[in-house]
């Protein structure tokens, strides 16, 4: 048991080193694409978010122009999750590994289906030119990525004043408040988004994780538990509920939710790494080794794979 705990701590340290080293050496890339409806018509003013929690900056926002096109520059190499949303349409999500700027990344195409809101797609921007809104978003993102939290919040709110339909920007506002440790303001921003989009999974997860950061484990568990009961619960809901259980010292319960997250996406390394840690902490070295090997096989380019390789090396000694 003590041997397993020693390895557990060692691999945690290795993961931190790998993540820092990867961030320092990473180059940036560009991703572009188009958002259209089921009839093949471009959607003007759709919002695309790019997220990678292991990168810094970890989030970018873009909007589509009159022809439904978008472009995001500055993404660090590695796996990114892209989400396209537009008023009156159900959101669509996709994953793609981003290469360096010297290697072209394939274009992304999102086809959004009607539903998820009463507003029509064409009214998303009102009379605002898409290129002007894109410039405003880029400026707000620059402030956010420069850690100018108050200025970025003001810039994002100014954008929503011009285009109220883009309520998804509340995600960035909430993230800025979380960085300021103003947790109640962050939760308020998430709730503002839920008023416009009651089924927004990112807002539900955000409230749960904000409560976790706030130290209110019960509130975090309640929020994520309710989200996990929904028919459309995602891998992030299950994974983060596992994080709450783990923070409460309920390793076995945490493992159940990590496993649910892995069942939703068998190629996602994060829950597999946590499952390996749980096994290791219980003295199940064979189980930890098997999970680590599986992680390297299904998600070989992730930071978690680097940590899993460290674990494999130590377990085979």
Structure tokens at 302: 């992730």
Per-residue model confidence as pLDDT tens digits over 187-207: 999 999 888 888 777 788 889
Q: 276: helix, coil or strand?
A: helix
Domain regions of the chain by residue span: 26-124
| Tokens 């707000």 -> residue | 140
Question: What pLDDT, on the 0 to 100 scale, is given for residue 14?
Answer: 42
Bridge partners (DSSP) of residue 273 are none
For the chain, what percent of residues have pLDDT higher than 90? 32
Q: What is the overall mean pLDDT for the chain?
A: 81
Q: Which residues contact 213 (CB under 8 A, 6 or more apart)?
A: 178, 181, 183
Question: What pLDDT, on the 0 to 100 scale, is given for residue 26?
Answer: 43
Which of 29-33, 148-152, 211-215 shows the highest mean pLDDT?
148-152
Q: pTM score, two decimals?
A: 0.58
Question: What pLDDT, on the 0 to 100 scale, is given for residue 64?
Answer: 86
Per-residue model confidence as pLDDT tens digits over 271-294: 999 999 999 988 999 999 999 999
* Cα-trace Rg, the chain: 20
**For residues 151 and 232, is the Cβ–Cβ distance under 8 A?**
no
> For the domain bounded by 26-124, which CATH number is listed?
2.60.40.1120
Per-residue model confidence as pLDDT tens digits over 108-141: 899 988 865 433 333 444 455 556 777 788 888 8
Q: Which residues contact 201 (CB under 8 A, 6 or more apart)?
A: 227, 232, 233, 234, 236, 237
201-260-312 Cα angle (round to 5): 120
Q: 262: helix, coil or strand?
A: helix
Does 11 have pLDDT greater than 90? Answer: no
As a whole number of Å, the end-to-end CA separation of the chain is 16
């Amino acid at each position: 048991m003590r041997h397993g705990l020693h390895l557990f701590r060692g691999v945690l340290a290795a993961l931190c080193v790998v993540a820092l080293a990867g961030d320092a050496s990473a180059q940036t890339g560009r991703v572009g694409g188009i958002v259209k409806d089921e009839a093949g018509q471009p959607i003007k003013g759709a919002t695309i978010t790019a997220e990678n929690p292991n990168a810094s900056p970890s989030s970018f926002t873009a909007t589509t122009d009159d022809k439904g096109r978008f472009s995001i520059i500055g993404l660090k190499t590695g796996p990114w999750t892209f989400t396209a949303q537009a008023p009156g349409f159900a959101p669509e999500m996709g994953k793609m590994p981003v290469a360096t700027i010297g290697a072209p990344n394939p274009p992304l195409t999102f086809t959004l289906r009607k539903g998820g809101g009463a507003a029509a797609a064409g009214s998303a921007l009102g009379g605002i030119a898409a290129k002007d809104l894109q410039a405003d978003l880029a400026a707000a993102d620059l402030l956010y990525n420069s850690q100018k939290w108050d200025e970025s919040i003001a810039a994002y709110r100014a954008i929503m004043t011009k285009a109220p339909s883009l309520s998804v920007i509340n995600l960035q506002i909430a993230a800025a408040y979380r960085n300021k440790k103003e947790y109640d303001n962050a939760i308020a921003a998430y709730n503002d988004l839920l008023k416009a989009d009651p089924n927004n999974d990112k807002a539900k997860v955000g409230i749960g994780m904000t409560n976790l950061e706030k130290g209110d484990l019960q509130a975090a568990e309640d929020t994520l538990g309710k989200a996990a009961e929904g028919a459309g619960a995602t891998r992030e809901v299950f994974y983060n509920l596992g994080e709450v259980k783990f923070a409460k010292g309920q390793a076995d319960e945490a493992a159940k939710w990590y496993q649910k997250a892995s069942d939703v996406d068998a190629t996602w390394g994060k829950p597999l790494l946590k499952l390996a840690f749980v096994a290791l902490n219980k003295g199940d070295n064979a189980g930890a080794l098997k999970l680590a090997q599986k992680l390297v096989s299904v998600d070989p380019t992730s930071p978690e794979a680097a940590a899993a390789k460290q674990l494999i090396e130590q377990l085979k000694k």
